[in-house]
Every structure is written in C-alpha cells, then in structure tokens.
Amino acid sequence: MKNIVIAIDGTSASGKSTNSKLVAKALGYVYVDTGAMYRTLAWFCMQNRIDPHDAKAVAAACRKWKTKLECVEKDGLKSVHLLVNGYFPEKEIRTAEASLAVSLIAVIPKVREWMKKAQRDCIQFGDLVMEGRDIGTNVFPETDYKFYLDAHLEERTKRRAADGVNENLAARDQRDSQRAAAPLMIALGAKVLNNSNMTSAQTSGWLLKEIRAMLPATK
C-alpha cells in the first residue's frame, strides 16, 4: 500500500461523514463513503425487484451488476462514486427505503467480500480518507491511520432527528456489532474520540492534529 489511507470508523450518527469530508478537503485527499456503496447495491436491488432478505439473490446481483469506480471533484472535495451502468444514484440512495434495505444487505458475507475488494480498489485514486464501519478492522487493517468516532446514544439520536431521520440507532448498533461478517468494532491501535459535546469543527480539528503529527515529512 503506497498511498496513505485514513480509516474513520464509528457508530451511526457519530459524525463520520461530515468529519471525513472536512479532513479529506483539508488534506487534499480523496474521500470515500463506503456506506454509499452499500446503499447503491440496495438501490440496485430495489430497482431490479431483488428481495434484500434473500441473501443468495443479493450475492448473485453483486456478481452480475456492471459497476465502475469514478473519482469526481466538487467544491474542492474529491470523492469516489460507484457507478452502475454509468450512473451514480446520488439522491436515490438516501431514501428511507434504501436505508431499510441497506441494513439487510450489509450483513451478507458475500456482499461484504465484494465491497471489500471494491473499496480496496479505491487506492488507485491516491491518498484516501475512507469512512465506514470496518475500514480499520477489515478493509485496510494494515493502515497506521485508524480512528473511531462515537457519541452517546441520546446525542446521536438527536443528530439523526435534526436530519429528519427517525431511526432506531440502538438496534442498528446491535446489528452492526453482532453480524458475523466484519462486525463493527474498534480496530487495534485506533484512536478513539467521543464527540458528544463537540462541534464538527472541533472534531475535524482534533482528527487533523492527530493525522498531521503522524504524517511523514514527504507528505
């Protein structure tokens, strides 16, 4: 692994997305939202009437769908999109239906195998800030840059509500941590931050300070 990978894992609504984008933009690295990749598969399954409860059918879809990774830049942020037949369903993957389906397909071992390969392939685009739930433990366990964000359940529920989303985060946490394939857990050597009482600026500032202290002089 020649390029740097900054792995930012954590619980739902812990600020992974917002802070990963801020860090990537500040460093000029490429941002990778691994959750969006799973959501794209969920959307594809819905489009093709594949039951997300049917693990074999979903795994078969992974083998057959035509995808491509693309790096795009918008407002100074470089990010990776997973295209399906040349299309990135940016808005469609954020619907309530997609959220419900993604929690089902994300636990399928064959899906996680496919996603791991696709996510590791993102290294072709350069230095990465990759956020998810198993980056430091499963996708890039060899990276030295591992972080884990968390916040109290009450605070995370407030954040979701502020975004107009009503989600049972306790149940989501349980599913993520108890699944057989690549469960949510703190990676060995990860720096952990509970940002319950911190703003995004404070959280990203802490991350950047830690990262810059670790970066080689050539970077």
| CA-CA-CA-CA torsion sign (63, 67, 68, 69) | negative
Q: Is the pLDDT of residue 157 over 80?
A: yes
Q: Give the pLDDT mean for 45-60.
A: 97
- pLDDT value for 85: 96
Q: What is the pTM of this model?
A: 0.91
- pLDDT value for 175: 73
Residues 156, 148: Cα–Cα separation, whole Å: 15
5-214 belongs to CATH 3.40.50.300:
yes
Taking the CA of residue 21 as centre, how many other CA atoms within 13 Å lie in the half-sphere pointing to its CB? Answer: 12
Amino acid at 39: R
Biggest alpha carbon distance in the chain?
51
Q: How confident is the model at residue 96 (pLDDT cuts 50, 70, 90)?
A: confident
Q: Give the pLDDT mean for 100-107.
A: 90
Residues 45, 65: Cα–Cα separation, whole Å: 10
Q: Is the pLDDT of residue 46 over 70?
A: yes
Helices 96-105, 34-47: crossing angle, 10 deg rounding = 100
DSSP helix/strand/coil, 149: strand
Residues 219, 217: Cα–Cα separation, whole Å: 5
Residues 109, 181: Cα–Cα separation, whole Å: 5
How many other CB atoms are found less than 10 A from the CB of residue 148?
24
Please, are residues 79 and 85 in contact by the beta-carbon 8 Å criterion?
no
Q: What is the mean pLDDT of the chain?
A: 92
